[in-house]
């Protein structure tokens, strides 16, 4: 007999996966533990490596006395302060402006307040000074500086732009001035538009929060002036750097070579730390992310495992396979009573919710009725019952079939696997017709094929089959 190709119902495959929830759950737990453990082991190894690295990078200071360490720290502090002031002198736009030829944008605004004092009924205070102060505070808040840097794409930090913008106002009058310093006059013209737009954009907010008023631009001029205060400030920064340099030179002169080497190493180490990202050794912990990934991987592999078992197993998976693969007439299926736990019982009820619930006796009656009809229509008074796994099937089932069929006037002789039991083979040959009895999950596809071949070689008629589920 040629080997048949077996078709698996997607519906039955799905239910096989569902009923194998224990195996899938086990896979999920195992892979969750493995994924979490592997991740933890990797994090722990990284943690130990970082700890060893940080310990190796710590400077050895045991060879210096307390006074020598103080001198090293003082020199380091002076060096840092000198570097900070030097950086400010180099990067600050204000510090690089020529104080004797300073381009200054001056904007003057007048606040026309709607406040009117009523001698008969109104005792509220004049809010004009508060309006002027609000505009001045907004100018000095740094938001205009940030807007200028972003809009004109000036390559500087916002704090350096804030130094170039100032506001001057008096609480006794309604006029306030805004001054912006910048070396390039063309850029100042562009800044003038931004500052004007930003100031006038605050009018509605101040109207609502402080009081109704009208803002008027009196003048907008760019002038060249001498700024003695800026010149003094630039000189003060240079004098501070010179003073730091003198102190550092004097302090280094009294240091030993080891102190100078330590100071140099700390400076190089600080520069490297600024360039490299700071890596902190964090004590590892269990990664929930990897546990979840492990669970998902375990569920996936568990489902694949169950699916492969159904698709590639050699055991009989479904009762319909006897009919679909071998063309055998089915006299019915006999479902044994199985003890199912809560989850399995619920799943079984869910799967068989549309099927009529039958007892074992009712299953047996259906099988015997079908057998009786076939035998009487073919005028058969004797039949032989055999199968590849008769020794593993409950002996009460063949006996019950034989008893019921005897009541209908049909003798049923039960035997074993005719491939290996010569007595069963002779009895089957003598009877002349047979019915196969196989069980799902135990009978093998190849064994059934061999059994059918052996029966046909003896020219015995196969009436059909009964399947135990």
Calculate Rg over the CA atoms of the chain.
49
Of the two residues 83 and 340, the one the predictor is more confident about is 83
Q: pLDDT tens for residues 8-17?
A: 667 777 877 8
Beta partners for residue 353, in sequence order: none
For the chain, give the percent of residues with pLDDT over 70.
87
For residues 40 and 428, the model is more confident at 428
Report the alpha-carbon angle 21-22-23, nearest 5.
90
pLDDT for the residue 44: 82
Per residue in 54-82, pLDDT tens?
Answer: 655 555 555 788 888 888 888 899 999 99
Closest C-alpha among 191, 160, 190 to residue 97: 160
* Contact indicator for 335, 367 with CB cutoff of 8 Å: no
pLDDT digits (tens, 9 = 90+) for 411-440: 999 998 888 889 999 999 999 999 999 998
In angstroms, the CA 34 to CA 264 distance is: 48
Average pLDDT of 450-458?
A: 91
List, for residues 381-395, the tens digit of each pLDDT value: 899 999 999 888 888
Report CA-CA distances (Å) from 176 to 111, 182, 199: 8, 20, 12
Residue 1 pLDDT: 41
pLDDT value at position 302?
87
CA distance 196 to 175: 15
Assigned fold of 316-468: Rossmann fold (3.40.50)
Rounded Cα–Cα distance for residues 23 and 306 (Å): 8
pLDDT at 60: 52
Q: What is the pLDDT of residue 22?
A: 83
Domain ranges in the chain are 7-92+252-312, 102-225, 316-468
pTM above the 0.75 mark? no
> Which CATH topology does 102-225 take?
Bacterial polysaccharide co-polymerase-like (3.30.1890)
pLDDT tens-digit readout, 155-190? 888 899 999 999 988 766 788 899 999 999 999 999
pLDDT band at 319 (very low <50, low <70, confident <90, very high): confident
Whether the CB-CB separation of 107 and 280 falls below 8 Å is answered with no
Q: Which of 51, 50, 52, 59 is closest to 267 using CA atoms?
A: 59
Of the CA atoms within 13 Å of residue 89, those in its CB half-sphere come to 17
């Amino acid at each position: 007999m040629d080997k048949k190709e077996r078709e698996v119902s997607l519906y039955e495959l799905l239910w096989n996966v569902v009923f194998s929830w224990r195996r899938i759950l086990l896979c999920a737990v195992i892979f969750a533990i493995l994924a979490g453990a592997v991740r933890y082991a990797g994090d722990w190894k990284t943690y130990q490596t970082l700890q060893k690295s940080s310990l190796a990078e710590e400077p050895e200071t045991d060879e210096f006395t307390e006074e020598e360490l103080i001198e090293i720290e003082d020199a380091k502090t002076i060096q840092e302060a000198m570097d900070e002031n030097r950086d400010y002198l180099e990067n600050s736009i204000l510090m690089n402006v020529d104080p004797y030829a300073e381009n200054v944008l001056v904007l003057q605004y007048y606040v026309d307040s709607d406040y009117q004092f009523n001698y008969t009924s109104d005792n509220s205070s004049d809010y004009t000074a508060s309006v002027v102060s609000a505009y001045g505070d907004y100018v000095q808040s740094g938001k205009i500086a940030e807007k200028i840097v972003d809009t004109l794409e000036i390559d500087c930090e916002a704090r350096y732009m804030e130094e170039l913008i100032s506001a001057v106002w008096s609480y006794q009058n309604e006029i306030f001035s805004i001054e912006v310093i910048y070396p390039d006059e063309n850029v100042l013209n562009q800044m003038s538009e931004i500052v004007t737009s930003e100031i006038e954009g605050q009018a509605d907010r101040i109207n609502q929060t402080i009081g109704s008023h009208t803002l008027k631009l009196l003048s907008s001029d760019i002038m060249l002036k001498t700024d003695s205060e800026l010149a003094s400030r630039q000189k003060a920064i240079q004098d501070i750097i010179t003073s730091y340099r003198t102190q550092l030179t004097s302090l280094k002169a009294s240091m030993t070579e080891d102190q100078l080497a330590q100071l140099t190493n700390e400076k190089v180490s600080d520069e490297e730390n600024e360039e490299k990202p700071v890596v902190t050794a964090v004590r590892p912990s269990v990664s929930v992310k990897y546990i979840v990934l492990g669970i998902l991987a375990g569920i996936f592999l568990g489902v694949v495992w169950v699916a492969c078992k159904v698709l590639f197993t050699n055991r009989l998976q479904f009762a319909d396979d006897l009919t679909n693969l071998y063309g055998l007439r089915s006299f019915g299926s006999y479902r044994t009573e199985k003890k199912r736990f809560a989850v399995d019982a619920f799943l079984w009820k869910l799967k068989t919710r549309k099927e009529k619930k039958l007892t074992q006796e009712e299953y047996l009656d259906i099988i015997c009725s079908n057998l009786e009809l076939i035998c009487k229509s073919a005028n058969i008074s004797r039949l032989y019952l055999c199968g590849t796994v008769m020794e593993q099937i409950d002996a009460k089932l063949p006996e019950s079939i034989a008893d019921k069929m005897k009541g209908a006037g049909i003798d049923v002789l039960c035997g074993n696997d005719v491939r290996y039991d010569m007595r069963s083979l002779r009895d089957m040959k003598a009877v002349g017709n047979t019915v196969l009895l196989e069980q799902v999950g135990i009978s093998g596809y190849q064994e059934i094929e061999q059994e059918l071949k052996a029966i046909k070689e003896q020219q015995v008629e196969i009436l059909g089959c009964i399947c135990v589920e």
